[in-house]
Amino acid sequence: MSTISIEPLLHHCGRQTPRLCPRSKLFKPCSFSCYSNKFVSHGRSFFCDFKPPKALPIRATTTFTAEVETFDSTDVLFKETFPLKRTEMVEGKIFIRLDHGKDEGKWQLTVGCSLPGKWILHWGVSYVDDVGNEWDQPPKGMQPPGSIRIKDYAIETPLKKSPSSFGGQTFQEVKIDFDSKSAIAAINFVLKDEETGAWYQHRGRDFKVPLVDYLEDGGNIVGAKSGFRGLPGALGQLSNIFLKVGESHSKDESGIAPVKERRLEGFYEEMLIAKEVAVYNKVSVSVKKCPGTAKNLLYLETDLPRDIVVHWGVCRDDAQKWEIPAAPHPPDTVVFKDKALRTLLQSKEGGNECYGLFTLEEGLEGFLFVLKIDENTWLNCMGNDFYIPLSSSSISAALSKQGQPEGAQLPGTTEKQNQESSVHEYTNGIINEIRNLVSDISSEKSRKTKTKEAQESILQEIEMLAAEAYSIFRSSIPTFTEEVVTEFEELKPPPTVKVCPGTGTGFEILCQGFNWESHKSGRWYTVLKNKAEELSLLGFTVIWLPPPTESVSPEGYMPTDLYNLNSRYGNFDELKDIVKKFHEVGIQVLGDVVLNHRCAHYKNQNGVWNIFGGRLNWDDRAIVADDPHFQGRGNKSSGDNFHAAPNIDHSQDFVRKDIKEWLCWLRKEIGYDGWRLDFARGFWGGYVKDYMNASEPYFSVGEFWDSLSYTYGVMDHNQDAHRQRIVDWINATNGTAGAFDVTTKGILHAALERCEYWRLSDQKGKPPGVVGWWPSRAVTFIENHDTGSTQGHWRFPGGKEMQGYAYILTHPGTPSVFYDHVFSHYRSEIAALISVRKRNKIHCRSIIKITKAERDVYAAIIDEKVAMKIGPGYYEPTSGSQRWSTAIEGRDYKVWESS
């Protein structure tokens, strides 16, 4: 069996207009080295970056077994079950087989997969005489039942369960019949996993099954012996496929032309494939008093399936500072750096569970722990340590939040009703806390007595409470209730007060201050400086500048020496000058920082570019180990690899220290107010939290960009999985950074292109993007330097840009406007929309009420102050206690203000 590298791809066919979210950096040149892709695992989360300590053995207590046996009793003081979500890599096989058909000259290609899921074969053909076109649609007679045409270049066919088995496993397959006398030169395909949206290639390119003998071997050939030359461990003798073309013929109307002298030989080939799947487990913790002493007994049990280590400690007050408790300790316990203990849980006889019993002294406030599955995988409680209360007061407070103790059931209620009641109790508690805090700083008396610092502190508490509620119940409950947001809006924080580090005031309007061609002038900073006053008058409060560092690519996204700020956009002094100018006109400035990857200055002894120069002269320890292109000696990547340049290993202490110092240097020397974080999918959001806490930006936003969900080429209505991935990243940063709302952009594409405006309301009647779940962290946009400009990788539907701006500039979230649109014929309309937003004090948490979402029209009312509609259909806001007057009207959009 030959094992190949397989990776989900984004641009699987040169002729396809990208409908998936593009990773534009794949198109940026790197003069050092560019390579094909390999399989990488996605969605990996590292909750801790502890390194294995030197074990210090501790003698186990002799009473452990007896204590476990007597723990089951009715006097349990506290009991809680926590859900655990993790990912596991599941391996399977792709197989490809070419067989002779039943009739002479007929052949059958079979493609199958042994992994569970909803698999789609995205495929096409290339013809003998069609030079230059890799993909074309096959003749109709060659298309299996259930196939869907994808524009004019491909077919998508769902794999179906096979009646036979594959190595003892069930699998899915699709069969393609074809005539050996046709003029088809090759069959090209990629495999798509509908459940995850991932696409799988062969060695970073499309699979290619050649049917002619003159095709060059590009490394992605399947079936031809030359395609596997030099690969050790191949399973069996793979047959060549030969097609002798005696003479060329033009295709007839059916797309088939006869060819003389053709000889095909069947083959069978298989290769490994892997994907990550979500796995759900739980951990239960109970606390009771030891019968013979006043000590606490804590019993922990989990159904995690392998040897589990509990990394734990105790705390003596609300600060939750970890310390090591007094003995006795459970069996198999070691000391970790004199700061915590690590205990291997014991396996239960006759079951898959494992458990531990902890005897804890009096006077402790709480028990803290995280679970260690392996050296790189830790599980915690929604980004924080698990915390178990131990004192009487803390247990009482926890139980009051829980509602009923686990297992208790009120008369006449079902378990589901009890769960819903518990959810509402908990969220109502958080809402009441928010109300109290809001009232605290809103009251006239408090407003006179409280300092500005105290008010900011309370506002930060509100943000953390809201984030906590959202983290737990984001799948079913919006971040804020309308009632709470209404009270919050009354605060009307002045622009100088920041609600939470990295998130601004909520009233920001962002302008991207460059496009893909801006570097060509060589003096872009000077050009943009002359427009500063104009942008301020238009109403923008934040400007996003291009990457400032020396770079291999002129656009700046392949940085080398991070401290060298002489770029194609201007030099160090010009950068400082433009930042100063924007500050003078009241506009904050974001720097575009590339933290995921960095281009090396020198080659190592193997000729690989992985030695860095400049002030940060890192070696290959700073590069992740799971990208073979650059032979890094760091740890595995915590995100997706970017294959055109060395991916930085953020788990290294020296790397994080250097990056934090660099960001703080930029803040001090240049005057940047915040950051736009490039390719945020490449590293764990927890590292971003570290960087934001160190550099304390006014505002920050990450580019977390991946594929939306499609079924047979049509965007799905439900994009919850997509926005969930973005929200998970924001949550990993602890809310210190927002993210571009790629979900909203994609849904706007489908709604406007297909005249399906019903897409703009989700199943709960909320906006369907990130802005519908976590509006204060959603940066909405319709175009940027990657999607539009001269790249045009995912261009907004032409002629409908103002509908998009009418949506994002009237809705909650933080809107971002593209430079090319500001200085175009849209300028006056954009200015009018910004004026409406500012005049009515619409902010990132404004309340939206969707009043219409039908085939040809979408309408909404925001904060009861602004009404809007987009689409060719009719809508007028109803007049009751409010009277509406037209503020701005354009092609297929209209905005009203309440008078």
Q: Which stretches of the chain score pLDDT less than 50?
A: 1-66, 225-261, 403-423, 442-448, 471-499
User: Distance between CA 722 and CA 708 in Å, rounded?
Assistant: 6
User: Distance between CA 773 and CA 129 in Å, rounded?
Assistant: 52
Known catalytic residues are 678, 703
**Global confidence as pTM:** 0.53
Q: What length is written for the chain? A: 899
Contact 277, 88 (CB under 8 A): yes
- CA dihedral 41→43→44→45, nearest 10 degrees, is 170
Going by C-beta distance under 8 Å and a sequence separation of 6 or more, which residues neighbour residue 92? Answer: 113, 114, 115, 169, 272, 273, 274, 275
Q: What is the DSSP letter of 637?
A: -
Query: Cα angle vertex 483, ends 481, 488, to 5°?
Result: 95
Backbone angles phi, psi at 543, to 5 degrees: -120, 135
- Coil/strand/helix, residue 261: coil
Q: What is the pLDDT of residues 337-376, one digit of tens each?
A: 888 999 999 988 777 789 999 999 888 999 999 999 887 7
Query: What is the chain's mean pLDDT, rounded?
Result: 79
Helices (H), 678-789: 685-695, 720-732, 742-753
Residue 569 has a pLDDT of 97
Tokens of 576: 């400082």
User: Distance between CA 794 and CA 797 in Å, rounded?
Assistant: 9
**Of residues 68, 715, 756, the one with CA closest to residue 359:** 68
Residue 206 has a pLDDT of 82
Residue 235 has a pLDDT of 27
What is the number of alpha carbons within 13 Å of residue 395 lying toward its C-beta?
18
User: Distance between CA 94 and CA 372 in Å, rounded?
Assistant: 33
Q: What is the CA radius of gyration of the chain?
A: 30
- Coil/strand/helix, residue 469: helix
User: Distance between CA 682 and CA 702 in Å, rounded?
Assistant: 11
Query: Cα angle vertex 630, ends 627, 633, to 5°?
Result: 75
Residue 73 has a pLDDT of 53
What is the bridge-based pairing of β-strands 609-611 and 710-711?
Answer: unpaired
DSSP string, 586-624: T-EEEEEE--SB---SEE-TTS-EEE--SSS---GGGB-
Contact 597, 645 (CB under 8 A): yes
Specify which residues 367 forms β-bridges with. 314, 388
Going by C-beta distance under 8 Å and a sequence separation of 6 or more, which residues neighbour residue 491? Answer: 438, 441, 442, 459
User: Distance between CA 717 and CA 707 in Å, rounded?
Assistant: 14
Q: Is the dihedral of CA 439, 444, 446, 452 positive or negative?
A: positive
DSSP string, 872-885: SS---PPPSSS-EE
Burial (CB count <10 Å: 0-12, 13-18, 19+), residue 813: buried
Cis peptide before 328 (omega within 30 of 0): yes
Residue 436 has a pLDDT of 60
Contact 532, 805 (CB under 8 A): no
Backbone angles phi, psi at 420, to 5 degrees: -65, -40
Residue 164 has a pLDDT of 75
Query: Cα angle vertex 11, ends 9, 12, to 5°?
Result: 75
**Of residues 624, 531, 529, the one with CA closest to residue 579:** 529
**Of residues 226, 191, 31, the one with CA closest to residue 119:** 191
Residue 265 has a pLDDT of 82
User: Distance between CA 862 and CA 840 in Å, rounded?
Assistant: 10
